[in-house]
Amino acid sequence: MTVASAPGKVYLFGEHAVVYGEPAVPCAIERRARVTAEERGDGRLRVDADDLSLDGFTVTYSGGPEDRPDVDVPTGLVEAAMGYVSGAIEQAREAAAAPETGFDLTIESDIPLGAGLGSSAAVVVAAIDAATRELGVDLAPEEIADRAFRVEYEVQDGQAARADTFCSAMGGAVRVQDEDKRRLEGIPNLPFVVGYDGGAGDTGELVSGVRTLREEYGFAADTVSAIGDLVREGEAALEAGDVAEVGRLMDFNHGLLSALGVSSRSLDAMVWAARDADALGAKLTGAGGGGCIVALDETEGARTALRYTPGCEEAFRAELDREGVRAE
């Protein structure tokens, strides 16, 4: 039996624009998905997942569509969750040259599913690591990230970016632009506060909406490019240790994302609540449409304000996690 964990993430800057070759800077946070893998001899998978914000499900399946579990949760979320897990196991089998191996998997997660905090990436990264090590193969974090990206790319119909999986595998703050991926070193501690509205945006629909705007309006394409310029400014502020400037640029980034139509009433309310409580900066994180915002605040002000904000179901502190995927 082998256990691995991987962190979730927030975006400081760059979501949506990263799809069009602009840079993005996600940061790992101290909320993790944990996967326990135990080899079994019949070639099948038994998946026990009680903490994925799916009300819990247990299912034995071999990866085919006929094996979909009969549970009272949205079909899309269940099928995506099963796709991520099946894809991770296929990657582990390929890496270990063991195509017929089966597993008992237990998945536990502190990361809300579909909320913009990288839950799927964390589960896939941890599952690949746990399953390959159970088979006696140790993969470098960079290879785990690459294999995890292949899984997300397949499940998300070619709309995934490398940022989530690379950040989860490597930990800390990372910069991703197409194939150029690296950790940012010497980053100061970032006092993240996360607000969660209890919902989840439709990533595919939101990405498609931005694509349509970008193709139809030149100013929308310019907005995407402006986000890329902002990311480069943010990277410089991070490396200089200027957390106040990072916060100001987060505010700008939220405004640009709102202009692209990916914010929501609940996300805007949480962003403004955090700013009114003197957070250094606040923005949505992830695809948008619902889910989470991230603020920078060393005090309790933003978290307290979020707890009293209508539509905010949870507010929590999540420090920068400098460690990526790891054995437990």
Phi, psi of 11, deg, nearest 5? -95, 120
Query: Which CATH number describes the domain made up of 2-185?
Result: 3.30.230.10
Most confident of the following: 6-20, 32-46, 79-93: 6-20
Q: pLDDT tens digits for 104-136?
A: 888 888 887 767 788 889 999 999 999 999 999
> Does pLDDT of 77 surpass 90?
no
Predicted TM-score (pTM) of this structure: 0.87
What average pLDDT does the structure give for the chain? 87
Active site residue 110: no
Lowest mean pLDDT among 35-49, 56-70, 165-179, 257-271: 56-70
CA distance 309 to 108: 29
CA distance 75 to 67: 13
Provide the 10 A C-beta neighbour count for residue 58.
Answer: 12
Q: How far apart are the first and last CA of the chain?
A: 11
Rounded to 5°, angle at Cα 37 from 31 and 38: 155
> Where along the chain do the CATH 3.30.230.10 domains lie?
2-185
Q: Residues with Cβ < 8 Å from 70, sequence gap 6 or more?
A: none
Catalytic residue among 164, 197, 297, 321: 164
Diameter of the chain measured on Cα atoms: 57
Contact of 156 with 116, CB cutoff 8 Å? no
Band of pLDDT at residue 323, cut at 50, 70 and 90: very high
> Where along the chain do the CATH 3.30.70.890 domains lie?
192-317
Q: What is the reported pLDDT for 117?
A: 87
Q: Which CATH class is domain 192-317?
A: alpha beta
